[in-house]
Copies of this chain bind each other. A is one copy, B any other.
Amino acid sequence: MSIVVVGTVAFDTVETPFGRGDNVLGGSATYFSTSASFFTDVSLVAVVGEDFPDEHLDFLKSRDIDTAGLVKIPGKTFHWSGRYGYDLNEAQTLETQLNVLMEFRPDLPESYRDAEYLFLANIDPDLQLEVLRQVRKPRLVACDTMNFWIGSKPEALKEVLRKVDMVVINEGEARQFTGESNLVKAARRIISLGCKRLIVKRGEYGVLMFTADSLFAAPAYPLEEVYDPTGAGDTFAGGLMGYLANTGNFSDEGVRQAIVFGSVMASFNVEDFSLNRMKRLTYPEIESRYRSFKALTHFQGLPDQLD
């Protein structure tokens, strides 16, 4: 029930209408592993530079995250700068300094290669394929991607999609990837490429999950205070995979619950900058918000319909 996540550990500089964070801890693997650590054991594969401070490493260890796969090499840590306007759904990237990320060739520690659960965060699809070759017999593999790879490496990405069990992707990216404006048609097209389960993230509007024969819609939790949406998608994926690894229940019902746990985690994460909310989050708070989610979405079926 241990998850391996391959992705980025980064410094972020983020501006939103509600404040800013300079050189704060970020990165897809950081958000994912922190979120998943509330549900199961996580091992992290990523690269950082010599400027990465012990303070951040200590935080990951405090969450019992295995950092044997977090390699420190000469150079500077990957740095992303972005800005959000009042429409917090859309980030404007101001600067991307790849730095040590340009040297990233994931080489999983031997103990990671028997991982049962694998999450391929948003990195070059060729690297995602390389990781897939290293992991021997995973029970469940999920991946994320982004517009840049859809545009530059569509064929490698299609090969990834065929090899994973679950794809987590943004609404706009699903449309871009297929050239189809209708989201249901776009989802059907992606599933026809060989992806078994597609989860489409719609920011403040929640998520849709598609399989060949089922459909699930979950709203995002409506919040009065949203400070920083950075990392929401990876935090969502961490809760989703963490819960699945914890229960081992991959039935449609099980994945629906996992999606709601993922949404719960994302809803906390946006309440503060960087991973600050995660740092003070407790499991009872997670359960309490799950209950609120249920209350938020519940309505009675028709009299003869099972609830």
Interface, chain A (partner B; CB < 8 A): 17, 86-87, 181-185, 188, 202, 204-206, 208, 215-219, 222-226, 253, 256-257, 259-260, 287, 290-291, 294, 296-302, 305, 307
* Chain B residues near A305 (CB-CB < 8 A): 291, 294
A181 adjacent to B217 (CB under 8 Å):
no
B299 adjacent to A224 (CB under 8 Å):
no
B256 adjacent to A298 (CB under 8 Å):
yes
Minimum CB–CB distance for A274 against chain B, Å: 20
Contacts A188-B224, A223-B184 known; A216 to B296 CB distance under 8 Å? yes
B222 adjacent to A299 (CB under 8 Å):
no
Contacts A86-B181, A219-B219, A222-B215 known; A294 to B299 CB distance under 8 Å? yes
- Kindly identify which residue among B183, B204, B225, B294 contacts A301, using a CB–CB cutoff of 8 Å: B294
User: Quick one: closest B residue to A217, CB to CB?
Assistant: B219
B222 adjacent to A217 (CB under 8 Å):
yes
A257 adjacent to B208 (CB under 8 Å):
no
Tell which of A87, A222, A257, A260 has the most Cβ of chain B within 10 Å. Answer: A222
User: Quick one: closest B residue to A210, CB to CB?
Assistant: B222
* Chain B residues near A218 (CB-CB < 8 A): 297, 299
Minimum CB–CB distance for A56 against chain B, Å: 30
A302 adjacent to B296 (CB under 8 Å):
no
B202 adjacent to A300 (CB under 8 Å):
no
Minimum CB–CB distance for A185 against chain B, Å: 6
Minimum CB–CB distance for A122 against chain B, Å: 24
B184 adjacent to A208 (CB under 8 Å):
no
Minimum CB–CB distance for A186 against chain B, Å: 10
Minimum CB–CB distance for A90 against chain B, Å: 13
Contacts A181-B86, A202-B205 known; A300 to B224 CB distance under 8 Å? no
A288 to B51, CA, bound (A): 59
Contacts A291-B305, A300-B257 known; A182 to B217 CB distance under 8 Å? no
B182 adjacent to A226 (CB under 8 Å):
yes
A216 adjacent to B299 (CB under 8 Å):
yes
* Chain B residues near A294 (CB-CB < 8 A): 299, 301-302, 305
Contacts A181-B86, A291-B305, A294-B305 known; A260 to B299 CB distance under 8 Å? yes
26 A-B pairs within 8 Å (CB atoms) are namely A17-B181, A86-B181, A182-B223, A182-B224, A182-B225, A182-B226, A183-B204, A184-B223, A185-B224, A188-B224, A208-B219, A215-B222, A217-B297, A218-B297, A218-B299, A253-B300, A256-B299, A257-B299, A257-B300, A287-B302, A290-B302, A291-B305, A294-B301, A294-B305, A298-B307, A307-B307
